[in-house]
Amino acid sequence: MARKEYAFYPGCSSQKGASASNYLTSVQSMCKTLDIKMTEIPDWNCCGASISYAEAGDLPRHVLNARNFALAETNLPGQDIVATCAACWLGARESKERLEHNSGLLADTQTALKEAGLNIQVIPAVRHMVEVLIEDLGYDELAKPVKKPLAGMKFAGYVGCQTNRPFGINGESFENPLYLDRLIETVGGEAVPYDQKVTCCGGALAFSEPEKAQAQIKDIIEAAYDGGAEMIVTPCPLCQANVEVYQGSINKKYGTKFDIPVLYYSQLMALAYGASAKESGITGNVVRARKLEEFAGK
């Protein structure tokens, strides 16, 4: 039996061939080393994300999350739900709180769930992968399997919004959370001073208001360079994509020369635990992390 077992909620972006599929790859490698067993919630559905509010309304959004709760509870009883995506975690956790504090909302949700042949008894805890790492294992345990410390490499720990607000990681401040820096240090890297650590990348508005979002992304990248970082690290799939894939467009518009890899914390951990470039998912980075590719090959 594995050391820890969880009901895994990967979310739409972490599916095979989707925009954060390399996040999933690295999480699988990291969890294997740490002896964490993640069982996918059977037939899980989208959380609705933050952006669907206009068309979704209130109840349908919570019902969508409630279906995942019911499926997890039925198929993986007693296991906490673990999400790797910031928006999935936020959406599901918000629904859990709302349903637990509003009996009318819960009753309506049960009525709707019945249409899909489902029912909720107890809503499982909804947790982020980072919470599992820090709270259930702890930094010392995370450091033990490090075979190849990322010595001499400088990272800007970009926490972003939704892994930080409104819930955040217990004990961390909203304005200057330190857990990501500590994770970087745990695998032997250097966390540089970074004043845009919790700035919003524009989120979904990178699609609908690209110019405004890209102006924000520009600040986020610039500050990473200013701090002396060689790479940016984040826990959020949307932060990762937004900060990575628009560098070319920003360079064109602002005359900058951005070319900075944007990684997931789990990729750093997998690499430090001895994973190959493929296993750590760095072959899935659009802005190639050449230094890490070389490191993985050694």
Partner 1 sequence: MSDLNQQMAARYQNNFLKEIEEQAEMGEWVKMCMQCGLCSGSCPTHFQAGWEHPPQEIFMMIRAGKREEVLSSSSMWMCTSCYNCYVRCPRKVPVTHVMHGIAEYTYRIGLSPKQQPTQHLSKTFWDNCTRNGRVNEVKLTQTLYFKDGIVSGIKKAMEMQSVAIGLVKSGRLNLMEALGGGHKCKDIKGIHAMLEKAKELEAQHKAEKAKA
CA distance to 98, 109, 125, per residue, from 58 (Å): 10, 11, 21
Is 59 near partner 1 (CB under 8 A)? yes
Task: Give the list of residues 6+ apart from residue 249 with CB closer than 8 angstroms, or none.
Answer: 210, 214
Distance CA 259, CA 131 (A): 31
- Which of 126/213 has CB closer to partner 1? 213
Pair of tokens at residue 77:
């009883």
Q: Of 155-174, which residues contact partner 1 (CB under 8 A)?
A: 161-162, 165-166, 168, 174
Of 26, 48, 197, 272, the one binding partner 1 (CB under 8 A) is 48
Distance CA 279, CA 200 (A): 29
Q: Shortest distance, CB of residue 226 to partner 1, whole angstroms?
A: 18
Is 54 near partner 1 (CB under 8 A)? yes
Is the peptide bond prior to 77 cis by the omega test (within 30 degrees of 0)?
no
Q: Tokens 């994770």 — which residue?
A: 183
Q: Of 126-145, which residues contact partner 1 (CB under 8 A)?
A: none
Is 79 near partner 1 (CB under 8 A)? no
Task: Decide: 218 and 257 in contact? Cβ < 8 Å.
Answer: no
Is 108 near partner 1 (CB under 8 A)? yes
Distance CA 22, CA 35 (A): 20
Q: Shortest distance, CB of residue 220 to partner 1, whole angstroms?
A: 10
Task: Decide: 42 and 50 in contact? Cβ < 8 Å.
Answer: no
Is 81 near partner 1 (CB under 8 A)? no
- Which of 9/273 has CB closer to partner 1? 9
Binding flags for partner 1, 18-37, as an x/- string (CB under 8 A): xxxxx---------------
Contacts with partner 1 by CB under 8 A lie at 12-13, 15-22, 43-46, 48-60, 63-64, 67, 108-109, 111-118, 161-162, 165-166, 168, 174, 199-200, 202-205, 207-209, 211-213, 215-216, 245-246, 248-249, 283-286
